[in-house]
Amino acid sequence: MRDISTLSPPDADYATLLTSPPKSSESTARGSTALSDILIREVETADILVVGTPVHNFTVPAALKSWLDHVVRVNRTFTVRPSGKVGLVKDRPVLIGVAAGGMIFGDGAQQPDFFTPYLKAVLNCIGLCDLHFVPVQGTAVRCKSEQHAELKQVLSNLKFGFFAKHQAQQANLQVGDNA
């Protein structure tokens, strides 16, 4: 588990890494580059990624953006081909719990949702496509009983949807490993 709320944006040595030819990026990692390597390894070794985040000003908060800037790295988590960017991270389930003060998701949306398409595009770029968004919205405008009812429904959907699917996948993998 990692608390990304204290992450700083990548610094100048990281920018140099991104603009250097691939061979020179194999030098000793330090500063933001070392942190980027650690964060990428955490993603690569996770069975499931769980992201809990608010929506800030219609999109991802600065801490999540900083984490993305460390993890989305050319020639490490994605490559560029003539046809476009290709993710290098093995796909795995990503559960994204999203809290929003306003109503921004679904049919009752009252403001634009830049959060979902942005996060989908960035995570798809590195190869993460099995995304599951779990919104809890209207936290600033709805009464507690409405919020509680929505949260109860969200948790029920997770129990019988996301978690049931993942447990079945794990069971199939274990059966295959023992065969």
pLDDT digits (tens, 9 = 90+) for 89-133: 999 999 999 998 888 888 888 889 999 999 999 999 999 999 999
| Sequence letter at residue 140 | A
Q: With residue 5 as reference, give the H or E element that holds it.
A: none
147-155 own/partner pairs: CB under 8 Å, 24+ apart: none
pLDDT of 145-160, one tens digit each? 887 888 788 778 777 6
List the domain boundaries for the chain. 4-142
Is residue 68 within 8 Å of residue 49, measured between CB atoms? no
Give the mean model confidence (pLDDT) for residues 44-65: 93
In angstroms, rounded to a whole number, what is the distance separating the alpha carbons of residues 163 and 156? 10
What is the CATH T-level fold of the domain 4-142, as seen in this structure? Rossmann fold (3.40.50)
DSSP E strands, the chain: 49-54, 78-81, 84-87, 94-100, 131-137
Total residue count of the chain as it appears in this document: 179
In angstroms, rounded to a whole number, what is the distance separating the alpha carbons of residues 119 and 98? 11
Is residue 30 within 8 Å of residue 10, measured between CB atoms? no
pTM: 0.79
In angstroms, rounded to a whole number, what is the distance separating the alpha carbons of residues 35 and 97? 24
